Structures are given as C-alpha cells and as structure tokens.
C-alpha cells in the first residue's frame, strides 16, 4: 500500500442520543465544510459509533433508534451519502479485528494516562467502576481511523489524545513489522484549531449523556430557555459589572455561532460593563437560531422518511467493509496470520 494518498477524511459520532451543538461545531460542521471546499478529497467517511457506546451503560432497546436518528441528524447537517460513506461502526467487524492487533502494540500505561480515561475514573469514583471498554476505547478509535487509512479526522479537542495514539500506533506497527511500504497512514486533525463546546451547565464539555446539551433541531422556545438559563456568574458577578468573556460559556458559543465582528463587539461590551448578560444571551439566541432553523427544517423533512437511514447505512456498510477489509488483510499478512 502506498502512502501517496489524496485526502481521506473521517468523522464519527457516538450513538448515545441526538446530535448536539458540541458534535456539530466540533466535528460535523468542519467535516462538511472541508468536503465542500476541497474537491480533491479521495474519500470521505462518516460513521455512527455504536460499538463505542457499549463501553458505558446503555439501553439495548433504544440503541438502534439512536443509530437511525443520528444518521438522519447527519444528513440534515449536510452529510451527503452520495459523496460520503455513511455507516454504523458495528457493520464493519474487520475494525474490531484490527483493534486486537493494535492492542498488542499498546501499553497499559499510556491508556491509563489518557486524560479522558482519568476523567472518567474520577467521575466514577463514587459510583460504578470503570470498564475495560473505557480503558481500551482509544485503541478501537485508532482502528476506526487506521482501518480506513484516514489522512484527516474531524474531532473535538477532547479527542486529540486519541488521535495522537493512532499516530503512535501507525509508527509502532511499521517499526515492529517493517516493510518498504507502510500500511497505515499517520492521521492529522481536520481542524488546525481544536474545538471544545462547554456544557450548558458550565461543565467541561457538552455531552449527549450528561443532559447539558442542545440538539441541532431544538425548537425556538427550547433554545431560548436553555441559553438564558446558562450561568455566567463565574465570569461576571453582576449583570452590569465588568466581565471576562474568555471565562464565559455564553461567549464560547458566540465564537462558533456569531460573526467575528459580533464577537469583538460583545467582548468589548462585556469587559467594560456596557453590555448586560441578558442582551448577550439574546444575541446568541438569534445567532444560534440562524444556524439551527434550516437544520431543523431538514431534520423534520427527513423524519417523514425514516427508511432513508436504513438505506444509507446499508449502502455505506458495503463500501466501508470493502475498504477496511483490504487493510485488515494486509495487516494480517504482515503479522503472519492466514485465514483458512
């Protein structure tokens, strides 16, 4: 396999609920934008990570409905199945086979030092113990990436350590099993500026399973209620006191939803106290409505055609399996495994 590849881009979203602002601005929008701006892209893949979902407690009865809903959300956001291979992670069993080979090259210590694992360990200290699935999550993610020979991956800031592990494993495999040509490609982040969208409750990040998110098809009244309920006291003790926009979760949303000129005006008004938090939130509400109104309309239309999700997944699974199977076979041959 040659390393001389045109861009191959990848985006994945877990099947734990509806697509939210963090997913959209952190991964999906950069993915769709790059695809529109760069016609030389060789291949584009977007998958629903239902196998990753198994690492945490979940409801088996709702998992498939989450997968189908997520596909419709992705299509509403501009992911075109005519240009993008859309599939569910579980449809490509070859990825799990690759993950086992990569796990033999991964050190337990580097998994335990992963910031996301350490954060989940701390969060679970008062409750359920952390599963080995959470510990090994970055290995499966590396297999998702390396199996498709993705050159660029659309991920939020919190996933950068996982992407770094994928690069390490690509190099490690080549050193352990040297050959003139590398099988794997060292992936790079799609965006040069990492994105982290804070949760509406002021927590570190927005998450589907943390009840601190806003879905991409949220109704106007819900957008209003959720945005105006965001606490800003950490950045500004009183509504007309001088504030620190860099510490404010509302301003963090403005960076993605509002124009650069608006952000400059809002930041200046916050710092000198001339702009109140309520007015700042109202501006954000209008900005978000501008982004979400067309997505909501597309999502409502797609909801009338639920079969689209299954058809999209079936077509995508065939293409994804073909791509990953070729890499799986090359890896097995390199490590000495034969299939009978």
How do residues 95-118 score in pLDDT, each as one tens digit? Answer: 999 999 999 999 999 999 999 888
Domain with CATH 3.40.50.620 in the chain: 8-197+306-335
pLDDT value of position 3: 47
Higher pLDDT, 17 or 239: 17
Residue 166, token pair as written in the block: 């994928």
- What is the Cα Rg of the chain in Å? 21
Q: Is the pLDDT of residue 211 over 90?
A: no
| Fold annotation for 8-197+306-335 | Rossmann fold (3.40.50)
pLDDT band at 219 (very low <50, low <70, confident <90, very high): very high
pLDDT one-digit tens code per residue, 325-337: 999 999 999 999 9
pLDDT one-digit tens code per residue, 295-335: 999 999 999 998 999 999 999 999 999 999 999 999 999 99
Domain with CATH 1.10.240.10 in the chain: 217-302
Higher pLDDT, 28 or 39: 28
pLDDT one-digit tens code per residue, 248-307: 889 989 999 999 999 999 999 999 989 988 999 999 999 999 999 999 999 999 999 989
What pTM does this model have? 0.92
188/190 Cα distance (integer angstroms): 6
Residue 253, token pair as written in the block: 């949303």
pLDDT value of position 310: 97
CATH 3.40.50.2300 fits 217-302, yes or no: no
For residues 185-210, give the mean pLDDT. 80
11/32 Cα distance (integer angstroms): 10
Q: Is the pLDDT of residue 4 over 60?
A: no
Q: Using H for helix, E for strand and C for coil, what is the string for the chain? A: CCCCCCCEEEEEEECCCCCEHHHHHHHHHHHHHHHHHCCCCCEEEEEEEHHHHCCCCCCHHHHHHHHHHHHHHHHHCCCCCCCCEEEEHHHCHHHHHHHHHHHCCCCHHHHHCCHHHHHHHHHCCCCCCCCHHHHHHHHHHHHHHHHCCCCEEECCHHHHHHHHHHHHHHHHHHHHCCCCCCCCCCCEECCCCCCCCCCCCCCCCCCHHHCCCCECCCCHHHHHHHHHCCCCCCCCCCCCCCCCHHHCHHHHHHHHHCCHHHHHHHHHHHHHCCCCHHHHHHHHHHHHHHHHHHHHHHHHHHHCCCHHHHHHHHHHHHHHHHHHHHHHHHHHHHHCCCCC
303/260 Cα distance (integer angstroms): 34
pLDDT value of position 203: 66
pLDDT one-digit tens code per residue, 68-85: 999 999 999 999 999 999
């Amino acid at each position: 396999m040659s390393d001389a590849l045109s861009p191959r881009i990848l985006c994945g979203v877990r099947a734990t609920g509806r697509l939210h602002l963090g997913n959209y601005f952190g991964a999906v929008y950069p993915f769709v934008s790059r695809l529109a701006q760069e016609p030389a892209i060789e291949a584009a893949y977007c998958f629903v990570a239902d196998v990753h979902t198994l690492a945490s407690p979940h409801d088996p009865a709702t998992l498939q409905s989450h997968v189908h809903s997520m596909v419709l959300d992705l299509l509403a956001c501009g992911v075109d199945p005519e240009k993008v291979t859309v599939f569910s992670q579980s449809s490509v069993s070859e990825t799990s086979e690759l993950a086992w080979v990569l796990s033999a090259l991964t050190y337990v210590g580097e998994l335990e030092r992963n910031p996301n694992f350490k954060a989940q360990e701390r969060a679970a200290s008062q409750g359920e113990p952390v599963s080995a699935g959470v510990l090994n999550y970055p290995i499966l993610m590396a297999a998702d990436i390396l199996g498709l020979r993705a050159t660029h991956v659309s991920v939020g800031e919190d996933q950068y350590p996982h992407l770094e592990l994928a690069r390490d494993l690509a190099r490690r495999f080549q050193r352990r099993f040297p050959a003139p040509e590398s099988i794997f490609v060292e992936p790079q982040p799609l965006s040069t500026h990492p994105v982290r969208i804070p949760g509406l409750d002021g927590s570190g990040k927005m998450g589907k399973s943390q009840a601190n998110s806003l879905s991409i098809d949220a109704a106007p009244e819900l957008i209003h209620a959720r945005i105006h309920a965001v606490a800003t006291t950490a950045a500004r003790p009183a509504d007309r006191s001088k504030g620190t926009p860099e510490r404010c979760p509302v301003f963090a949303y403005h960076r993605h939803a509002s124009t650069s000129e608006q952000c400059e005006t809002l930041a200046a008004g916050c710092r000198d106290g001339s702009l109140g938090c309520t007015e700042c939130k109202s501006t954000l509400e209008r900005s978000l409505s501008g982004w979400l109104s067309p997505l909501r309309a597309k999502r409502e239309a797609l909801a009338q055609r639920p079969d689209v999700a299954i058809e999209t997944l079936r077509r995508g699974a065939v293409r994804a399996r073909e791509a990953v199977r070729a890499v799986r076979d090359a890896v097995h041959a390199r490590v000495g495994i034969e299939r009978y």
